[in-house]
Amino acid sequence: MWLGTLPKLQVLSLRSNKLHGPIRTLTIKNIFPLLRMLDLSSNAFTQNIPVWLLKAMRTIDHIMEAPIDEGDEYYEDSVAIVTKGLELQVVRILFLYTTIDLSNNKFEGHIPSVLGDLIALRVLNLSHNGLQGHIPSLLGNLSVVESLDLSCNHLSGEIPQQLASLTYLEFLNLSHNHLEGCIPQWNQLYIFENNSYEGNDGLRGFPVSKGCGNDHVSEKNYNVSALDDQESNSEFLNDFWKATLMGYGSGLCIGLSIIYFMVSTGNTK
């Protein structure tokens, strides 16, 4: 409980320990007033992600300007951060660089929608947990997020269209969930490769191999067009042979008539 009362605490890293069990709710006012980097990864925390902790971090996002004192713009100590699929040692951390890493735990339940309020968030890693339900569309509010990893959970439903508006997003991993439907085919989501979506058998569209949306329409229209062409060709051939047979029959009748006329008049020369 006393951790939340530290007035100048900006970075809290408890990763790779043997911490376990649920994180109990704290009702202290002004808890974690300056916390902007939270790393609880590779432990054994259970139950739901603590919403109260995320709400505490939300208070810093309303201050989008760096401090006047240049000496306070950076946190000087070295911190390990998993971002864009890589573990990096960051020595100088910008004042506004906000990260949350809760990966490799046993968290359950839904992804809290309050994450969409953390508008200064740069890195969000919730991978390798037991999270369920849909991806909140409010994550589309994370306008400066650069790395988003929700892989290896039990997430279902469609990928929210709002995620396509995350123009700063450089790393995305939604693999090994139960997502379905069409991958949004515009803006940022169009640049990621198949490994960002693999392990979701219900997903369709680029870059996975299955067709999606307009592809079905195009394929249907193509098939209908092909059938129309075949019917047109068949009708043309029928008309052609009819005309040919009619012409042949007419010519034969005229020829026989001429021969009959010549024979009947005795003029065979």
Tell me, yes or no, whether 265 and 221 share the same domain.
yes
Average pLDDT of each block of 10 consecutive residues along the chain (269 residues)? Answer: 88 93 86 90 96 82 46 51 57 66 96 92 95 95 93 96 90 94 80 89 78 50 43 55 56 58 58
In this structure, are 258 and 207 located in the same domain? no
pLDDT of residue 83: 57
Q: Quote the pTM value.
A: 0.71
Asked which of 163, 193, 211 is the last residue of a domain, the reply is: 211
Question: Which of 162, 187, 211 is where one domain is finished?
Answer: 211
Are 83 and 173 within one domain?
Answer: yes
Asked if 262 and 163 sit in the same domain, the reply is no
> What pLDDT shows up at residue 259?
59
Question: Quick one: pLDDT at residue 100?
Answer: 94
**pLDDT at site 205:** 84
Same domain? For 165 and 41 the reply is yes
User: What is the residue whose two structure tokens read 């006329």?
Assistant: 261
Count up the domains in the chain and report the number.
2
Q: How many beta carbons lie within 10 A of that of residue 114, not counting itself?
A: 17
240 and 160 fall within a common domain: no
**Can you read off the two tokens belonging to residue 30?**
């002004």
Q: How far apart are CA 202 and CA 45, in angstroms?
A: 30
Same domain, 29 and 114: yes
User: Of 195, 211, 227, which residue sits at a domain end?
Assistant: 211
Considering the domain architecture, whether residues 107 and 133 belong to the same structural domain is answered as yes
Rounded CA-CA distance 209/206 in Å is 7
Do 141 and 168 have their domain in common?
yes
Q: Which domain holds residue 229?
A: 213-269
Are 207 and 239 part of one and the same domain?
Answer: no
Residues 103 and 14 in one domain: yes
Q: Do 249 and 221 belong together in one domain?
A: yes
